[in-house]
Amino acid sequence: MIRKILIANRGEIAIRIIRACREMGIETVAVYSEADRQALHTQLADEAVCIGPAAAKDSYLNMEQIISATLVTGADAIHPGFGFLSENHRFAQLCEACNITFIGPDSMTISKLGNKAMARTTMIQAGVPVIPGSEESLTDENRALTIAKEIGFPVIIKAVLGGGGKGMRVAYSEDEFIQEFLTAQKEASMAFGDNHMYLEHFVENPRHIEVQILADQHGNVIHLGERDCSIQRNHQKMIEESPSIAVSEELREKMGKAAVQAAKAAGYTNAGTIEFLLEEDEKFYFMEMNTRIQVEHPVTEWVTGIDLVKEQIRIADGRVLSYTQDDVQIKGHAIECRINAEDPKHNFRPCPGTITDMYLPGGKGIRIDSAIYSGYTISPYYDSMIAKLIVYAKSRKEAIAKMHSALGEVIIEGITTNIDFLYDILERDDYQEGDITISYMDHVLEEMQEESKWI
């Protein structure tokens, strides 16, 4: 039985996990870098262990240090959160070898789904719709061109070990293909130390819809509906919501069934997310599967009433899912805004610094997941996301009104944030009408530039 969990992360997600553990009567161990001595997660956990210098590679990515901290404190399990080591199959394998429960799927499953070409093959075999593309991973540009012509332009060139947008290029015609392929391949080599690529037909202006699943170690798999994550910039999501305005009850059931099929085909356990692209005519395609808890998990928690982090821990502990598919009812509407220490007026550059004063809103249907406090200094070493504001109401319209009102109350002094920018998005007609695709933010920024607003 899991009695003590080491949290191999920082910031708001570390706090989120500490809270779940405390409510479950599980002891917590925080790990922290030299830059995070004053961080909230360091102070809030039952125990805290310093694991190295500020740079992530020396601390939060340092597997040996984290394993040592686990063994020294006698923790039974590690929760990796998101980012850092959360989708690193070698870290999961190291946990397995040391008899530490990794709160996530097994290392083999992480590895198989981390290989995006292999994931595609698995999904094809499982009967999950995938985007027409290459059936093999490619290294030779001429062979790739032959296949690109078969697929039909435009094609998107992706790194097999990629994901989240790195090492990705679009070729609109035969003439530009070779150059784009070689550029993408170079980027992939640099970023992932691997030059294997795959191709897909490029889907223009889809929505990014992802389905949350939970799978226990006894073969039970359920889905928890979808999140619409179309509003993003440079592959960084900005506003997420559940349910999606573009998903009907019938489509939800279809995508949910596909997601469950996908998880079963992969032999998946724990919480996971299946990313789909959704076209105008309700056609949807598998893109990739994320093997971690995601930043935007709270919107799903609110419309389903299910605590995803607690379920993750229960699953890792070998227990049966607390819910059957019939127990899952999507009710109301939830929206999340990511609050970042960044300057929208200067290409969203990170703005670390000290918070001199702050006020955060509350009230019915308002949740804030954050690790900031008045007097806290945001470090330049880590991600610029400092808080998540999540709202819940009966309808999308009421949720938007609540988010707008709540954003208006936020005060964070001493640093620059994107709060006013988010506030302006909430006021837009196209946003309010739900007229959003993955290119939404590009259009908005272009329009703002023309009006000399913000940029």
Residue closer to ligand MV4 by CB (options 54, 203) is: 203
Q: What CA–CA distance (Å, rounded) separates 368 from 376?
A: 17
Q: Are 345 and 419 in contact (CB under 8 A)?
A: no
Nearest approach, Cβ of 360 to ligand MV4 (angstroms)? 29
Number of H helices, E strands in the chain: 15, 22
Q: Are 40 and 371 in contact (CB under 8 A)?
A: yes
Strand, helix or coil for residue 424: helix
Residue closer to ligand MV4 by CB (options 87, 288) is: 288
Active site annotation includes 292: yes
Binding site for ligand MV4 (CB under 6 A): 131, 156, 163-165, 200-203, 208, 232, 235, 277, 287-288, 438
Nearest approach, Cβ of 370 to ligand MV4 (angstroms)? 25
Q: What CA–CA distance (Å, rounded) separates 81 from 282?
A: 32
Residue closer to ligand MV4 by CB (options 156, 399) is: 156
Enumerate residues 6+ apart whose C-beta is below 8 A from 191.
Answer: 159, 162, 166, 167
Residue closer to ligand MV4 by CB (options 2, 156) is: 156
Nearest approach, Cβ of 445 to ligand MV4 (angstroms)? 13
Residue closer to ligand MV4 by CB (options 31, 422) is: 422
What is the DSSP secondary structure assignment for residue 38, as one 8-state letter? T
Q: In what order do the strands lie in the sheet with 197-201?
A: 169-171, 155-159, 197-201
Q: What CA–CA distance (Å, rounded) separates 31 from 10?
A: 8
CA dist 281 → 200, 207, 247 (Å): 19, 11, 11
Instruction: List the catalytic residue out of 10, 169, 292, 338.
Output: 292
Neighbours of 329 (CB within 10 A): 9
Paired with 412 in beta bridges are 358
Residues identified as active-site: 292
